[in-house]
Amino acid sequence: MKLVGRVALFGTLLLALLGNYHAQANVIQVALTKMARSSEVDWLHSRYRNALNAAAPSEKVNLADDNSTTTQSASANSATPQVINVDAAETRIFSGEGSHTIQVTVGGQPRTLIIDTGSGKTAFVCEGCNNCGTRHENAPFQFTSNTKYLTCASSNSCAECTTEGKCKYSQVYVEGDYWLANKVSDVMAFAPKNQPAFQAPVNFGCIYAQDGVFNTQTSDGIMGFSKHADSIFEQFYQHKVTKSRIFSQCLSQNGGILTLGGVDMSINYDPVVYTPIRNTGFQYWTVTLLSISIGSTELEIDNKVYNKHRGTVFDSGTTFVYMPLAIEAPLKAAWAKAVGDDQFPISDYYYDLTEAQLAHLPDICFHLLNDAKVCVPPSLYFYRVGVGKYAGTLFFGDGAKSLIIGASALTNHNVIYDVDNLRIGVAKANCEATVSSTATDNSTTTSAVMVELSINPGGDKFRSISPAIGSYDALVQWILASATFLGVIGLVNALWMELKDIKAEKAHQAQLAKQGDVNVNEADGGRVPSASSCALLDEEEEDRTSAFSFILMRDDDERQVV
């Protein structure tokens, strides 16, 4: 009975610990909205208008001198669209004004934020920010009673401190656009307050100064979804709102769906195929690109070009596709071979195309490791700038040191980002599927809904990575692991001590039996074994306890070593 009691005690303690750790969690699914691609599209339109001033509309117009050395225009950050040189296209100004946004509340105040898998920080303008633009959808964020400044002592990711000890938070982009903020915390919600399962306290940047595209965009700020400790999917997981760090984006031409903590497999047209994430030392979602094809024609180029420097990156905050200059000539050659004309969809030109001609063009496909692929139809690698007029949306340059698969290429794909299994999954999907909406005053307000979605969608897994050292989740898991280990040791010790007591008692009874001094109580069903059977029992007990004894002895020896 003593043994049973000890086992029950340790089992109860372990179950209590585990029960407290696994708090109720949910999968969150919300609708994405689509904002005007002001930076990129205004730029394409302005180039087209300037071309019309210099040539007849029916002619193909070269908008850049291929032999000239282009430099970044100082007017790239101007609020008025102007013609800028081609190389500026590959800079982060084009990802700063992304086309897909999400509506959340922070501190009870609505925010419209760009979904960006190319960065990990979330930030938006706060009250007191001077010259921070006038086009934002919502008024600057006002501090609430729950808004707290993070100090350098409280934030592991604080790279710089103010004189008051506040944590500085900032991001500077390739072309010079930037935002500066203080790192603060408040409650972010994906749904109204009456659905607390969809909210969590999060850290974000409270912007007090910014420049460039951040002043001209209509969205309030940016929401980071890269492999970063401050990414929203990571913060919601750390607060046990979601059970998994997996999330998926399904971008459409009208909006799309974001699923946090799970995957909606019901919207897929094709099976999901996974490709492993490369560990490049950067926070980006980097994959291995094996080849690019136009229809059935593959580019003739060493695929090392695709994977140099930062490599091939999935970035929903970048509007179009940006490639290193070394890819341009092979891509043009493959286009001529596959299509038979020179209407190559580079951003340097615009073309006269009918809808029928456009539909007849082949897909451009990016073939990834493990047979995953992303295919871009002509309706997405050409952009309509006028009646029957289209501009190419393939940009080339080396400033980004990366091949960026942006939102135009990811559109109509359910893209699954799974950091724990170090993989990205891709499947063609119905990204126009409705999440939930309620009509109010002739307007549509999108909110989160409870959905039963797959937390573990299966498929190829490449390896698992642990939570960041020093994180709250890692600490909890370490404590649980320690408690579990101690519990097992306690159980083993209880078994060993119990067996040892039984063994000693039986040995004592055997010795008394030999001397003829034992009185057996028949009412209790007691029986004294013979000397031979007792000796056999001793051998069996030695076999059953030797391994346990060795482990405990080894632990004891280690504890004694100083």
Three-class HEC string of 222-234: EEECCCCCCCHHH
143 in the same domain as 110:
yes
Asked if 315 is an active-site residue, the reply is yes
pLDDT at 522 over 80: no
481 in the same domain as 403:
no
Residue by residue, DSSP assigns 443-463 as: EEEE--EE---BSS--S----
E strand map for 129-246: 148-149, 168-172, 178-189, 199-211, 221-224
Backbone φ/ψ region at 516: left (φ over 0), alpha (ψ -120 to 50), beta = left
Active-site residue among 116, 230, 348, 418?
116
What is the average per-residue pLDDT within 171-186? 85
138 in the same domain as 97:
yes
**Residues sharing a CB contact under 8 Å with residue 339, sequence separation 6 or more, in sequence order:** 294, 295, 361, 362
Active-site residue among 264, 315, 348, 418?
315
Residue by residue, DSSP assigns 233-246 as: HHHHHHTTSSS-S-
487 in the same domain as 443:
no
C-alpha distances (whole Å) from 339 to each of 269, 344, 354, 367, 460 are 27, 9, 16, 20, 35
Vertex 198 angle, CA 257 and 142, to 5°: 100
Is residue 6 a part of any domain in this protein?
Answer: no
Is residue 170 a part of any domain in this protein?
Answer: yes
Burial 73-109 (b: 16+ CB within 10 A, else e): eeebbeeebeebbbbbbbbbbbbbbbbbbbbbbbbeb
Q: Report percent pLDDT > 70 for the chain.
A: 59
**Residues sharing a CB contact under 8 Å with residue 254, sequence separation 6 or more, in sequence order:** 34, 432
452 in the same domain as 494:
no
Rounded CA separation 347/83 (Å): 12
pLDDT interval class at 271 (50, 70, 90): very high
Rg from Cα positions in the chain: 32
What is the average per-residue pLDDT within 108-113? 93
pLDDT at 464 over 90: no
Number of domains in the chain: 2
Q: Helices (H), strands (E): how many in the chain?
A: 11, 29
The answer to whether the Cα torsion of 165, 166, 167, 172 is positive or negative is: negative
pLDDT at 41 over 90: no
Rounded CA separation 109/392 (Å): 39
Residue matched to tokens 């709102």:
241
Amino acid identity of 435? V
Is residue 23 a part of any domain in this protein?
Answer: no
pLDDT of residue 492: 53
pLDDT interval class at 140 (50, 70, 90): very high
pLDDT of residue 485: 56
What is the average per-residue pLDDT within 125-149? 93
Q: Which one is predicted more confidently, 278 or 509?
A: 278
pLDDT of residue 439: 32
268 in the same domain as 247:
yes
Q: Which one is predicted more confidently, 203 or 538?
A: 203
pLDDT interval class at 217 (50, 70, 90): confident
**Residues sharing a CB contact under 8 Å with residue 331, sequence separation 6 or more, in sequence order:** 292, 294, 299, 323, 344, 394
Provide the edge-to-edge strand list for the sheet that holds 312-314. Answer: 285-287, 312-314, 403-405, 321-323, 394-396
pLDDT at 286 over 70: yes
364 in the same domain as 478:
no
493 in the same domain as 402:
no
Lowest mean pLDDT among 235-244, 261-270, 531-540: 531-540
CATH at 393: 2.40.70.10
Lowest mean pLDDT among 98-107, 316-325, 452-461: 452-461
pLDDT of residue 65: 34
pLDDT of residue 234: 96
- Mind listing the pLDDT tens digit for each residue in 306-323? 999 999 999 988 888 999
Residue range of the domain that includes 545: 474-518+525-560
Q: Which of 465, 486, 510 is the last residue of a domain?
A: 465
The most confident of the ranges 42-56, 70-84, 227-241, 506-520 is: 227-241
Residue matched to tokens 């993989």:
423
Helix, strand, coil percentages in the chain from 3-state DSSP, rounded to 5:
30, 25, 40
Q: Which of 442, 465, 488 is the last residue of a domain?
A: 465
Q: Decide: 290 and 367 in contact? Cβ < 8 Å.
A: yes
pLDDT of residue 419: 93
478 in the same domain as 430:
no
Is residue 501 a part of any domain in this protein?
Answer: yes
Lowest mean pLDDT among 239-243, 247-251, 527-531: 527-531
pLDDT of residue 52: 54
Is residue 12 a part of any domain in this protein?
Answer: no
pLDDT of residue 405: 95
pLDDT at 445 over 50: no
Rounded CA separation 342/358 (Å): 14
Is residue 2 a part of any domain in this protein?
Answer: no
356 in the same domain as 264:
yes
The mean of the pLDDT values for the chain is: 72
Is residue 479 a part of any domain in this protein?
Answer: yes
Q: Which one is predicted more confidently, 403 or 386?
A: 403
pLDDT of residue 500: 61
The answer to whether the Cα torsion of 75, 78, 83, 86 is positive or negative is: positive
Lowest mean pLDDT among 48-62, 486-500, 513-527: 513-527
Rounded CA separation 520/518 (Å): 6
pLDDT of residue 198: 84
The most confident of the ranges 330-344, 452-466, 490-504 is: 330-344
pLDDT at 127 over 90: yes
Is residue 11 a part of any domain in this protein?
Answer: no
44 in the same domain as 67:
yes
pTM of the model: 0.68
Q: Which of 395, 430, 465 is the last residue of a domain?
A: 465
Rounded CA separation 94/86 (Å): 12
The most confident of the ranges 88-92, 153-157, 289-293, 502-506 is: 289-293
Rounded CA separation 558/113 (Å): 54
188 in the same domain as 256:
yes
